[in-house]
Structure 1
Amino acid sequence: MSPLRTPRAGLAHRFVEDESGAYVIEFAFFGSLFVAVILILFQYAFVHLARQNLDASLQVATRALLTGSFQSSNGATLTPEKTLQNMRALMCGGSNAPVVFFSCDNLKVDVQVSTTSFDTNAWSDSAVDSKSGGWSKSFGQNYQCPGSQSIAIVRAAVKLPLIAPLFLQIGMRNFSDGAVLLQSASVFRVEPYDKSLTGGC
């Protein structure tokens, strides 16, 4: 003769043996992992596209400096700040500029000239201040006008905010606020151009 069960005991027994919610729990666990993997892949793809986009934008500036056309339209009377502002405008909104995947407000450019050879000191300044976790005060402020047949070193950097949460920013954080630093550089010898006719350097 089976023992009598109270209504409360029967309810507890049915709750223990009920497996109808197992799929919901499994989906919540594995589904969250799947969403995290998708976010990581999407984020890495976005960073890769933005890095390629920065390279293409820098090629536009490099071509203008290489031929002397940028120097001709931005003479020595302009301040370095205004000249770099014009260069950023050329890289982001010029007729030959690509459609950018980043905000041009987060773009900084440095142009330096090596008088004798490929001077490594021109590459020493970091774009990020290791102490503050923000932009370095010395980066993006230098414009040395590349004269005819001089060796120019152009560096561009972008602060790119990431879309995924901080715990998914695997190996990509450079700034203290979680944004990633993208960099591109170009070294070239400027073609001969007649600065007396154009007002270049």
Structure 2
Amino acid sequence: MTTHDDRRARMVEQQIAARGITDPSVLEAMRAVPRHRFVPESRAQQAYEDAALPIGEEQTISQPCIVAAMIEAAELRQDARVLEIGTGSGYAAAVIGRIAMEVHSVERIGRLAEEAAERLREEGVRNVHVHHGDGTRGWPMEAPYDAILVAASAPHVPKALCSQLVPGGRIVMPLGDPDSPGGQALTRLTLVGPSSWDEKRIGSVRFVPLIGE
């Protein structure tokens, strides 16, 4: 009988490592976090498939390979303080929490924020803090952050997020209009000066739009 552990190991090998993700800390975190615990029970048998899955409130949990690509692009160290915009089910935050020292995650939908916080507690994740709020404002009370990951698309990075990074910090998010021919590009922006950014396009993606101020 194939177990969730077997499916998760196969997911990391076939969907993540095979697509070029090489950061050992990311691969280990993806092996460790039980994705089936972060989807509706009716979807648990699909949790390790190469697909996004619905989690309610017209939201989804991203494909495992997209989660891994975003986290690898953020170049997290063990002492990193991270802001995540778009908690969803809490899965990506749990993976980030296996690598970074501290994670603050902001979710605009109250029910999802409550459920994610409870799920993380049940899984024994103590370094991830879920907040209900407008992600476009970031979470200035705990700034600055070494990295900010945004699980929703926008034409440009909200100014509030830019102001909450340390020098040399990274923002990873999908940029672009989902209805345009070019679609969205998963992008890493590194703050290299007071108002100077180094930009790297990672690949084409499709995310729900970032909603807020």
Greater C-alpha Rg:
1
Structure with more contact order per residue of length (Cα contacts < 8 Å, sep ≥ 6): 1
Judge same fold: TM > 0.5, yes or no.
no
**TM-score interval w.r.t. the shorter chain?**
under 0.3
Judging by fraction of residues, say which structure has more helix.
1
Q: TM-score, normalised by structure 1?
A: 0.25
Judging by fraction of residues, say which structure has more strand.
2
